Amino acid sequence: MNRTATPESNPRNTLKWLSVITLISAFSQVTLGGYVRSSESGLGCPDWPLCHGQIIPPFEFHTLVEYSHRLNASLLMVFVGALFLLCWFRFREEKMVIRLAGAALGLVLCVAVLGGITVLTELAWWIRLIHLSFAELLIGAATAIVWLSFSADIVSNSTPQQISTPNWRTKLWVISVGIFILIISGSYMVGAGAGSACSTWPLCRGELFPSGTAYAIHMGHRYIAGLILIAAGYIGLSFIKGDGNIPGVKQASMILVHSTLLQVVIGAILVWAGFDPALKTIHLALATIIWIAVIYMVACVLENNSKFLKGS
């Protein structure tokens, strides 16, 4: 794959900024979706694709919250479509880029359809769970495209090296799957009606293992978060120690470690604050930032390893 660059060609610049804009829009979409859910605005527009049968809906709080989510979804589809067309016509020789752009296009279409089904099924929890899963996978694809579009500049002054972190492939799998499961478990907890079941922290009703389905589901999410915190600290620090000089790895690992710790703190504050909708949204947004950091770290390590194997 040849991404050695001529002096900042227009197509490469366009790819860089379009991929960044797409990632920002995808992140905004998940964050807005979190606020739609936490503010109970999911049926602010009870029909789809119109809102109250209109293109321009009534100026009412819940309606505007849901409608802003839909407007951003429309923009996101435009950005992803434009990104795919750019990659298809100008970067088709870069196989990984075109595959990721194609995956992003498929995912954004699925997210759009699932958004409509969510409304038509009056917010069925399992549809919302799949909806969020696809949205996070879309963010992962967009993050990888951002890395690939900038990587020629980022690694131009570095020499690919053999990965030194022990069991690095396993660690990347563990942290990637672990963070994804953590995000989805949070969505499942809320969808199952257990989001505010435990009103104390760190214990629930003074117990580590409270009886009752809702309490068990809520505490299950906390236990997953605790395990991920330990895994993120161990894996992040092991990559910093072993391969911190690979471009992007140290920065992504630091974001992973510190953001995961901050996420646990925000989770506690969320409980103490009585599950404030704004804090719920911040909680999901930070989880998505952690997911972005993980995917970025994976992309950095795999790109370095690919270049090292080609040069060896």
Q: Is 261 helix (H, G, I), strand (E, B) or coil?
A: helix
For CA atoms 174, 179, 184, 189, give the dihedral sign.
positive
Distance of CA 47 to CAs 31, 70, 76, 87, 91, Å? 22, 12, 20, 35, 39
Return the structure tokens found at 272: 């103490």
> Where are the domains positioned within the chain?
9-154, 158-312
> pTM higher than 0.85, yes or no?
yes
CA atoms lying within 13 Å on the CB side of residue 58: 9
pLDDT of residue 1: 41
Which residues does 53 contact at the CB level (< 8 Å), separation at least 6?
Answer: 47
Return the structure tokens found at 204: 């629930």
On whether the CB atoms of residues 83 and 19 are closer than 8 A, the answer is yes
For CA atoms 280, 131, 28, 154, give the dihedral sign.
positive
Could you give the CA distance from residue 138 to residue 35 in angstroms, rounded to a whole number?
19
> For the chain, what is the mean pLDDT?
90
Instruction: State which amino acid sits at residue 199.
Output: S
Question: From the centroid of its chain, how far is CA 229?
Answer: 17
pLDDT tens digits, 65-76: 999 999 999 999
pLDDT tens digits, 137-186: 999 999 999 999 988 776 666 688 899 999 999 999 999 999 999 999 99
Largest CA distance in the chain: 64
Write the class of the CATH domain 158-312. Answer: mainly alpha
